[in-house]
C-alpha cells in the first residue's frame, strides 16, 4: 500500500508556473512508476507524466511535453510536477499516482489506471 498527499495547487495567470508536490508514505520502496494525471469537469482523466523508478526515465503527454517536468526526491519521499508556461486548458484537478507493478505501453497514458492515488490538488489557470 502507498499513501499519497498532493499539495501546491492554486490559481495562476496564463504563462505562469506552479510546482505540485506529492508526499508519499507506505511501501514506497517497491514503486515501479510514479505519475501525475489530471481531470477537469466533463472530461476524461488524462495522464500527464510518469517516472520509472529504475533508471529515472520520464514520459509525458504531448499536451505538456516541454512545459511540465516530473521529478522525485527519494530522501523526502516526495514527487514533484513542475509546470511552466501554463495555459487555461491546463486547468484541472491534478492527482499523483503510483504503481507497484510494471507498466507496459505508453506509461504516461497509463497513469490514471495506477492503483494508488491521492485526493488531488486544484490548478486553475486564468487567461
- DSSP β-ladder status, 2-7 and 18-26: antiparallel
Give me the mean pLDDT over the 123-127 stretch: 97
- Quickly state the pLDDT bin for 39 (edges 50, 70, 90): very high
Q: What local confidence, expressed as pLDDT, does residue 2 receive?
A: 97
Q: What local confidence, expressed as pLDDT, does residue 7 receive?
A: 98
Strand partners, 7: 21
Q: What local confidence, expressed as pLDDT, does residue 18 receive?
A: 98
Single out the residue of 59, 7, 64 nearest to residue 33, CA to CA. 59
Amino acid at each position: 500500500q502507498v499513501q499519497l498527499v498532493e499539495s501546491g495547487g492554486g490559481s495562476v495567470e496564463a504563462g505562469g508556473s506552479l510546482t505540485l508536490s506529492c508526499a508519499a508514505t507506505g511501501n514506497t520502496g517497491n514503486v515501479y512508476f510514479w505519475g501525475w494525471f489530471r481531470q477537469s469537469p466533463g472530461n476524461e482523466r488524462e495522464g500527464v507524466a510518469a517516472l520509472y523508478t529504475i533508471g529515472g526515465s520520464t514520459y509525458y503527454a504531448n499536451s505538456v511535453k516541454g512545459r511540465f517536468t516530473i521529478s522525485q526526491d527519494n530522501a523526502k519521499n516526495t514527487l514533484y510536477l513542475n509546470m511552466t508556461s501554463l495555459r487555461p486548458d491546463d486547468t484541472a484537478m491534478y492527482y499523483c499516482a503510483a504503481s507497484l507493478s510494471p507498466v507496459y505501453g505508453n506509461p504516461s497514458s497509463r497513469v490514471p489506471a495506477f492503483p494508488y492515488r491521492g485526493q488531488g490538488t486544484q490548478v486553475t489557470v486564468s487567461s
